[in-house]
Amino acid sequence: MTGRWGAVRAVMGCGLVAVALVSCSAPEDGPEVASLSTGTGQAPAASTERERPRERLDMTSEDLEALQRPYWKCMGEQGIPDKRAMGDLSVVPEGDERIAAAEAACAHTVPLPPWEKDPANPESHAFLVRVVDCLRGKGVVKVEVVPGESGGHTIAMGGAENDSEQVGLALGHMSECEAEASRR
C-alpha cells in the first residue's frame, strides 16, 4: 500500500492530476517516476485475499509461527496483547467488541489455509476425501469429511464420542496422508 501511495504522491508532485492518468515524466537529470494507468478510470477494489499470506501443507510449526507474527503484531497495535505470550490461550483480556474490532482491522494479516483445504478451491472437498481414505487405510476408523463452521469442509476425527486413541492415530498420520493426497 505504501508503494501505491508513494507513486500517487509522485504523480501529484508532477502536477498531473486527471481523470485518466497515464504517465508522469520527470526532468532528464532527475529521478525516474513510475507511470500509473487507471485502466477503467475507477480505483481497483482492494483485495485482501491477494495480500494475505497462505499456509502450505509442508510448513513446520516454526514456519506457521512466522506466518502468524504479522497478525499478532497487528493485534498488539490494536491494543490486544498476544495471548500466547501470556501462556494461556483461553484468557480474553478485553471485551468482545474490542477484540472483534481488532480482528477486523487485522483480517488482512490472517493466513489463508493451504490451497488444498481452502473453501475457495473447488477441489478442496475431493482432497479431503483422499486424505480420509488414506487415514482409513492406516487404520483410522472414526474419521470423516464434514461441513466446516465457516464454509467448505473439514476432517472430523474421533467420532461422536471423541475417541482420543482414534484422534491420536489420525493426527499421527495426517501429514503423511495430506502429502499423499496432494500428489494425486
Cell readout for 146 is: 464434514
Q: Give the start-to-end residue ranges of the domains of the chain.
A: 1-44, 49-109, 115-183
Mean per-residue pLDDT, 5-27: 34
The residue with greater pLDDT, 95 or 175, is 175
- Can you tell me the distance from the alpha carbon of 147 to that of 170, in angstroms, rounded to the nearest whole number? 18
- Can you tell me the distance from the alpha carbon of 67 to that of 61, in angstroms, rounded to the nearest whole number? 10
61-71 pLDDT, tens digit each: 999 999 999 99
- Residue 25: pLDDT band (50, 70, 90) is very low
Assess contact for 170 and 140: CB atoms under 8 A. Answer: yes
Mean per-residue pLDDT, 11-25: 33
Out of 11-25, 96-110, 135-149, the most confident range is 135-149
- Check whether 22 has a pLDDT greater than 70: no
Q: What is the pLDDT of residue 51?
A: 80
Amino acid at 177: C
As a whole number, the mean pLDDT across the chain is 75
- Check whether 60 has a pLDDT greater than 70: yes
- Can you tell me the distance from the alpha carbon of 184 to that of 93, in angstroms, rounded to the nearest whole number? 45
131-168 pLDDT, tens digit each: 999 999 999 999 999 998 878 899 999 999 999 999 99
